[in-house]
Structure 1
Amino acid sequence: MSESEEDVDLPRFFKVFLSETASESMAIPMSFIEHLEDPLPQTAKLQGIGGGVWTVSFKKIRDCAYFTSGWSKFAEDHELKDGEFLTFVYDGSHTFEVSVFGRSGCKEIRAEVETVELSDANSDKEEEDSSVVADSNEEEEEGDDDSSFIAGEDDEVSQSLSHVDSDDTVSNAEGFSNLEVESNPCFTTTLKNRIYELLIPANVVKEHGLTFCDRIKYIDGEGIMHGAKGKWSDDRICFKGWDRICRRNRLKERDTVHCEMFHIRNKVHTIKIRVTRGRG
């Protein structure tokens, strides 16, 4: 899958792994430090394309920044060898997506998080259909119908092959819940009549002065999906493809969805989703 325009815009750097200097810590290029927060956060997250997330310490020594505690575990789990090439893509909020390129020059998936596939597709569909329940009491949905939606330029919704860890994953994904950062705008939502779009609350947009990429990433416990931006007739912002998130998380009427928006200079590029199950 080719990188979207928004992905290309994210700040990034590369390093060649040398065990002599990078087994216990990894230096960040000095020219990249301008993209980091000041003061430097105590920890960062390294998200491997195999699905795991590692917590590492940030340390500043003189004018240089380093990944320290936790880096050796990341290097060990990915079986890094001298001369291999790593790319680090920064989301602007404590998280780096790290890709490993072997000596052949090809990207390699390592330290892959094990996923479980459901065997009965028919029962899955029945459960998914039963979980999509109309909730006409939601204030956001009153007076809204499909004719009020104006599609963005690209209505395509695509699912990538990469996976991130779920809340139930123990192994290397331990500590993933710490990815939530207080500085990231958040809101909650529930199952709506209109499951095809995720509506961004207007008060959150206004309070934080947010703008949005034309396509954003949804990140949940199963992986990454993409949604195209749209706008309702009253100028509220929404994103398509939300029905796929609802179905694969088997949302029910009493469930609450916590949405955390990751941004660079107030421009949102990713929404991380966490579901709290309701009782009954």
Structure 2
Amino acid sequence: MAKDYPDFFKVFSTEKHTERMRIPNAFVNLMRSKRKVIKDFILRDRRGRDWHVKARLIGDELYFDGGWKQFREENSLEEDDFLVFTHIENTVFRFKILELSSMCEKKKVSVVEENNNMEDEEEVNDGDDDDEDDDYEYDAAAAADDDGDDDDENERMYKEISRSKHQHCRTCCKCKAGNIGSSSARSKLEDDEIDAEIYIQPGNPHFIAKYIHSRPNELFIPKNVIKDFCLCFTKHVTLECCHCKDIQSNDLAAYHHILPQISTIHIEKRGQVRTWRDGRVRVLGWEDFCRKSKITENDSCLCEIVLREDGTIRILRVHVVRKE
């Protein structure tokens, strides 16, 4: 069944799109030819959160206007972010935000309260504070300051990028994974005198857990690991404990081989994932996990992130290293 509306995209510019953003002319012309011009868009992210954005006619062109500023702020749009809009039903469009340089999907960081109740389902219903009429508003002065985007050039770019974005995303993440495993993460591991390669499956993201006295129940995942691996978080993640001893290099293959079998006898806990506006991610339930796993202050915890095929985190495997 053919869709009523095609996908469209825009490259975000802080200079041109802070107050409003123009909808590509090719998309608007198609709407007009079908006599199905949308006046109120519902923009939905992958987690099901909606933003209501009014369309506004300025000159001969159509803009995201009422509610756009709130959408931009709450999704932390930055220069050269690549926005792809896909029609779902009626006036609902699902959007993705990609980093133009890598075509990796940018993970939006929500505003989170300090308590454990994160209101993910809160909808933005009053984005239009301008008390506009239901009809489009003509603004010749604003039209004179139009950003003058080249739709044809953008559409050609989109066709090229859309054909390869999924493969490109996987490739760039794998490349960065190799870098961080031997550089930024390695430098921290050296401070703790742990050889990560002994415990970690090759290519998996990893970091050393840092204990924060003011937040003992939270495990913080470093921002550089999140960014370099294009990590995607669901609302929960499984913490899995693996108690380790010093392993000789010639026993490394055997350890990795038996780990999936022995991991089932260790402690597992379902932790809640919370995100901060500045990009920090924390997993709640760390204190109880450490208590059940008999992790002491003298232990070092090397956290290995095991990913699913879709890039989401399947397990956060905690290697508890005790020196004897």
TM-score by length of 2: 0.32
The structure that is helix-richer by fraction is: 2
TM-score by length of 1: 0.37
Structure number with larger C-alpha Rg: 2
* Larger relative contact order (Cα-Cα within 8 Å, sequence gap ≥ 6): 1
